[in-house]
Amino acid sequence: MITYSFNTKSNLLYVTFDEIITFAEIIDYLNEFRELDNLPLDLKLFYDVRKANFDFKLEDVATISKHAELVTEKYNTVKTVFLVDKPKHTALSQVFTETETKEKTTRKYFSTEEAAIKWLDSE
Protein backbone atom coordinates (compact mmCIF):
# COMPACT_ATOMS: atom_id res chain seq x y z
CA MET A 1 0.00 0.00 0.00
CA ILE A 2 1.24 3.50 -0.86
CA THR A 3 -0.08 6.45 1.13
CA TYR A 4 0.91 10.09 1.06
CA SER A 5 0.18 13.41 2.71
CA PHE A 6 1.48 16.94 2.30
CA ASN A 7 2.72 18.69 5.42
CA THR A 8 2.23 22.43 4.91
CA LYS A 9 4.41 23.30 7.90
CA SER A 10 7.49 21.40 6.68
CA ASN A 11 6.56 21.79 3.00
CA LEU A 12 7.19 18.08 2.42
CA LEU A 13 5.20 15.42 0.65
CA TYR A 14 5.47 12.34 2.88
CA VAL A 15 5.01 9.05 1.07
CA THR A 16 4.87 5.72 2.89
CA PHE A 17 5.38 2.36 1.22
CA ASP A 18 3.87 -0.40 3.37
CA GLU A 19 3.63 -4.16 2.88
CA ILE A 20 4.07 -5.65 -0.61
CA ILE A 21 4.79 -3.01 -3.26
CA THR A 22 4.65 -4.05 -6.91
CA PHE A 23 5.90 -2.35 -10.05
CA ALA A 24 2.28 -1.71 -11.10
CA GLU A 25 1.48 -0.09 -7.74
CA ILE A 26 4.38 2.33 -8.10
CA ILE A 27 3.36 3.27 -11.64
CA ASP A 28 -0.25 3.78 -10.46
CA TYR A 29 0.97 5.99 -7.60
CA LEU A 30 3.10 8.05 -10.01
CA ASN A 31 0.13 8.51 -12.34
CA GLU A 32 -1.99 9.65 -9.39
CA PHE A 33 0.85 11.94 -8.28
CA ARG A 34 0.84 13.61 -11.70
CA GLU A 35 -2.72 14.83 -11.01
CA LEU A 36 -1.83 16.60 -7.75
CA ASP A 37 -2.00 20.33 -8.34
CA ASN A 38 -1.49 21.84 -4.90
CA LEU A 39 2.21 21.13 -4.39
CA PRO A 40 4.98 23.76 -4.39
CA LEU A 41 7.01 24.10 -7.59
CA ASP A 42 10.18 23.45 -5.59
CA LEU A 43 9.16 19.99 -4.52
CA LYS A 44 10.54 18.00 -1.58
CA LEU A 45 9.59 14.32 -1.38
CA PHE A 46 10.15 12.08 1.64
CA TYR A 47 9.72 8.35 0.96
CA ASP A 48 9.60 6.05 3.98
CA VAL A 49 10.19 2.56 2.59
CA ARG A 50 11.14 0.83 5.84
CA LYS A 51 7.94 -1.26 5.99
CA ALA A 52 7.92 -2.11 2.29
CA ASN A 53 8.43 -5.49 0.71
CA PHE A 54 9.35 -4.67 -2.88
CA ASP A 55 8.10 -7.18 -5.43
CA PHE A 56 9.67 -6.12 -8.73
CA LYS A 57 12.87 -6.68 -10.67
CA LEU A 58 15.99 -4.58 -10.36
CA GLU A 59 15.62 -3.81 -14.08
CA ASP A 60 12.27 -2.12 -13.32
CA VAL A 61 14.01 0.62 -11.33
CA ALA A 62 15.14 2.43 -14.51
CA THR A 63 11.57 2.41 -15.85
CA ILE A 64 10.24 3.72 -12.54
CA SER A 65 12.87 6.46 -12.56
CA LYS A 66 11.98 7.55 -16.10
CA HIS A 67 8.29 7.61 -15.21
CA ALA A 68 9.02 9.65 -12.08
CA GLU A 69 10.88 12.17 -14.26
CA LEU A 70 7.87 12.45 -16.59
CA VAL A 71 5.35 13.06 -13.83
CA THR A 72 7.49 15.76 -12.20
CA GLU A 73 8.15 17.80 -15.35
CA LYS A 74 6.07 20.77 -14.16
CA TYR A 75 8.22 21.33 -11.06
CA ASN A 76 11.23 23.68 -10.92
CA THR A 77 13.22 21.40 -8.63
CA VAL A 78 12.61 17.95 -7.16
CA LYS A 79 14.53 16.81 -4.07
CA THR A 80 13.78 13.25 -3.04
CA VAL A 81 14.91 11.21 -0.05
CA PHE A 82 14.37 7.56 0.76
CA LEU A 83 14.37 6.43 4.38
CA VAL A 84 15.77 2.88 4.39
CA ASP A 85 16.69 0.27 6.98
CA LYS A 86 17.23 -2.98 5.09
CA PRO A 87 19.96 -4.02 2.64
CA LYS A 88 17.45 -4.61 -0.19
CA HIS A 89 15.87 -1.17 0.34
CA THR A 90 19.31 0.40 0.37
CA ALA A 91 20.33 -1.36 -2.84
CA LEU A 92 17.14 -0.42 -4.71
CA SER A 93 17.33 3.17 -3.44
CA GLN A 94 20.97 3.39 -4.49
CA VAL A 95 20.18 2.20 -8.01
CA PHE A 96 17.24 4.64 -8.18
CA THR A 97 19.29 7.60 -6.94
CA GLU A 98 22.12 6.83 -9.35
CA THR A 99 19.82 6.58 -12.37
CA GLU A 100 20.43 9.48 -14.71
CA THR A 101 18.02 12.36 -14.13
CA LYS A 102 17.49 15.91 -15.25
CA GLU A 103 19.59 18.58 -13.57
CA LYS A 104 16.63 19.81 -11.50
CA THR A 105 16.25 16.41 -9.82
CA THR A 106 18.33 15.22 -6.87
CA ARG A 107 17.86 11.99 -4.95
CA LYS A 108 19.51 10.51 -1.87
CA TYR A 109 18.85 7.76 0.63
CA PHE A 110 19.33 7.84 4.39
CA SER A 111 19.02 5.52 7.36
CA THR A 112 17.78 8.23 9.75
CA GLU A 113 14.86 10.61 9.41
CA GLU A 114 16.88 13.45 10.94
CA ALA A 115 19.62 13.23 8.30
CA ALA A 116 17.05 12.96 5.51
CA ILE A 117 15.14 16.06 6.61
CA LYS A 118 18.36 18.00 7.19
CA TRP A 119 19.40 17.28 3.59
CA LEU A 120 15.95 18.16 2.22
CA ASP A 121 16.05 21.49 4.06
CA SER A 122 19.54 22.36 2.81
CA GLU A 123 20.00 24.57 -0.22
Inform me whether the pLDDT recorded for 96 exceeds 90.
no
List the domain boundaries for the chain: 1-119
pLDDT score of 95 = 85
Segment 23-49 shows an average pLDDT of 96
- Position 91, amino acid: A
- In whole angstroms, give the CA distance from residue 57 to residue 32: 22
pLDDT of 100 > 80? The answer is no
**CATH architecture of residue range(s) 1-119:** 2-Layer Sandwich (3.30)
**pLDDT tens, residue by residue, 11-28:** 999 999 999 999 999 999
Q: Which residues contact 53 (CB under 8 A, 6 or more apart)?
A: 19, 20, 21
- pLDDT tens track for 44-92: 999 999 999 999 988 899 999 999 999 999 999 999 999 999 988 888 8
